[in-house]
Chains A and B, each alone.
Chain A
Amino acid sequence: MKKIFYIISAFLLFAVACEPNNTTDETPVVGATSLTYAVESIADHEAVIVKPEDLEEGAPVVIVLAEDLELRPLYSPVEETPNVNFKAAEHCLIGRYALCVIATSSNDDLAFLTDAKALFPGTSKFYLLSYRNGLSYTAAMQMPDAFAAYGCVSGAIDVNTYKTNNFTKPVSFVHVHATGNAVCKWNGVQNKTVSVPLCVGAIVAVNECVTFKETDLLPREGKGRVSCTHYLGSESGCDVKLYSVEGTNGGWCDEEFEVYNQIWNFFKTH
Chain B
Amino acid sequence: MKKIIMTLFAVLAFCLVSSAATTKSETIVDQGLTRSYYIYLPDNLPADAPLVFILHGYGGSASSYINNSSLSFKELAEEYKVALCYPQATTDPKPNTGWNVYYPWQIDKMKVDDCEFICALAKHLQAKYNLSEKNVFLTGMSNGGEMCYLMAYRKPKEFAAIASMAGLTLTEMAKRHNYTEPIAFMEVHGTGDKTSRWEGDPTNQYGWGAYLAVPVAVGAIAAANKCMYEETTVLPQIKNRVTLRRYYGAPSGKEVLFYEVRNGGHNWATDSFDSCRTIMEFFKKNMVK
**Chain A residues packing against B (C-beta within 8 Å):** 159, 162-163, 186-188, 190, 194-195, 197-198, 201-202, 204-206, 208-212, 231, 233
Contacts and interface: CB of A to CB of B under 8 A. Distances in A.
Contacts of A201: 219-220, 222-223
Contacts of B219: 197-198, 201, 204-205
A51 to B, nearest CB: 37
Q: Which 6 pairs of residues, A with B, have the shortest CB-CB distance?
A: A201-B219, A205-B223, A188-B229, A195-B230, A211-B200, A202-B223
Contact of B232 (A187, A210, A211, A231): A187
A126 B231 CA distance: 36
A163 B225 CA distance: 11
A22 B285 CA distance: 49
Interface in B173-197: 174
B224 interface: yes
Nearest to B217: A210
Interface stretch (B74-82, B151-159, B208-216): B208-216
Contacts of A206: 223
A195 B226 CA distance: 11
A186 B229 CA distance: 9
B210 A210 contact: yes
Contacts of A211: 199-200, 202, 212-213, 216
B contact residues, range: 20 to 34
B227 interface: yes
B174 A208 contact: yes
Given A187-B230, A187-B231, A211-B213, A205 B171 contact: no
B259 interface: no
B93 interface: no
A190 B210 contact: no
Nearest to B245: A197
Given A212-B213, A212-B216, A233-B202, 14 more contacts: A159-B228, A162-B226, A187-B231, A188-B230, A195-B227, A195-B228, A198-B219, A198-B222, A198-B223, A198-B227, A201-B223, A210-B216, A211-B199, A212-B199
A194 B249 CA distance: 9
Contacts of A197: 219, 230
Contacts of A195: 227-230, 247
Contacts of B231: 187
A233 B251 CA distance: 30
